[in-house]
Amino acid sequence: MSRHQHDPQDRTQWSGTTAPMQVWVLTTRSLRAAFGNYRLVFFGLLQPVVLLLLFSQVFAGVTALPGMAGYAGYINYLMPATLVNIAMITAMGAGAGLVAETYTGVIGRLRTLPISPVSVLVARTLADTARLAVQLVAIVVAAVLVLGFDPDGGVLGLAAAVLLTLVVGWGLSWVFVAIATWQRNIEVMQAVSFIAVYPLMFSSSAYLPLENMPLWVRAVATANPLTYAIDATRALALGRSPGWALPWAVLLAAVAALGGAAVATRNFRRSA
C-alpha cells in the first residue's frame, strides 16, 4: 500500500466541536462582520445618541409635572429608560440579522456543518448583546458629557443599570429571533416587530411617571413588563432601591429568553 493511501478502517471521522466552542466561533464571526463595517459601527452608535437627544428635547417640558422634581432634570429620568429602549431596538435587530443571513445563504452553509442549530441561535443573540454593550457605553458617555446626565448611583449604580439592561436585552433578543424563525419575510417580520416595540415603549414609565398618565394608560403601563425593567434600571442608576421591580425584570427577561429559545429552536429545526 502506498504511503499516500490510507485504510478506510483507520480513518477518523470529524464529528464537530463542543457546543461552547461552536457558540464562541459563531459569535466571534458575527462580531467581526458587525464591527468590520465602519459605516455600520458609526450609525449603530449614532442612532441611540440621536434618540436620546431627540426625546430629551421634545419632552423637556415634562420636568414641570408633578413627581419630576426629585430627578433634578428630565435627562436623569429619561436616560435609564433610554437604555432599555435601545436594548429593545437592538433585540429587534437580532431577528432582522437572522433573516438577512438566511437570505444571503449563511444559514444554509451553517446547516451543512456538524454543529448544533441551538449554537447558531445562541451565537446570534450573544453577538447582538455584545453590540448592545458597546452602544450602551457610547450613549452613557454622550449623556454625561453633552446632556449633563448625573446619576446619583455613581459608577457602580450605573454599571448595575447597564448590566441589567444587557440581561433584559438578551432576553428580548430571543423573542425577536423566535419571530424571525416563524416569519422569514423581512418586511413582514419588521412590521410585526414594530407593532410589538412601539406600544411597549410608549405605554411604559419611560417618558412619564405613572401618576401623570390617564387611568387606562396607567393600567396598561402597570401591566407592561417593560415598565419593571425601566423602573429597576432607573432606580439602580439613580442610587435608589429598585424594590420588586428588579426581581420582576430579571424574571420576565428569563421567561422571554426561555420561551423565545424554545420556539426559535423548534422552528429552526423544522425548517432544516
Orientation angle between helical segments 154-182 and 74-103, nearest 10 degrees = 30
Query: What total number of domains does the chain contain?
Result: 1
**Rounded to two decimals, what is the model's pTM?**
0.86
- Give just the sign of the alpha carbon dihedral 95, 101, 102, 106: negative
Residue 100 resides in a domain: yes
And the C-alpha cell for 229?
Answer: 425593567
φ, ψ dihedrals at 247, nearest 5°: -60, -35
**Amino acid identity at 21:** M
- Name the CA radius of gyration of the chain, rounded: 22
Report which of 96, 101, 99 is spatially closest to residue 33, judged by C-alpha positions: 101
And the C-alpha cell for 2?
Answer: 502506498
Decide: 177 and 94 in contact? Cβ < 8 Å: yes
And the C-alpha cell for 219?
Answer: 393600567
Which residue segment(s) compose the domain that 170 sits in?
A: 19-270
Residue 3 resides in a domain: no
- Residuewise pLDDT in 10s, the chain (272 residues): 444 454 444 444 545 578 888 889 888 988 887 777 777 778 777 878 888 888 887 777 777 777 777 787 788 888 999 999 999 988 988 888 888 888 778 887 887 778 888 888 999 999 999 989 999 998 898 888 888 888 887 889 999 999 999 999 999 999 999 988 887 777 777 787 788 788 888 888 888 888 888 888 889 999 999 999 999 999 999 989 999 999 999 999 999 999 999 999 998 887 65
- Give just the sign of the alpha carbon dihedral 134, 139, 142, 144: negative
Report which of 247, 21, 248 is spatially closest to residue 122, judged by C-alpha positions: 21
Residue 71 resides in a domain: yes
Residue 51 resides in a domain: yes
Residue 7 resides in a domain: no
Q: Please report how many Cα atoms fall inside a 13 Å half-sphere around the Cα of residue 166, on the Cβ side.
A: 18
Residue 48 resides in a domain: yes
Residue 5 resides in a domain: no
Task: Specify whether the backbone of 34 is left (phi greater than 0), alpha (psi in -120 to 50) or beta.
Answer: alpha
Residue 11 resides in a domain: no
And the C-alpha cell for 184?
Answer: 422569514
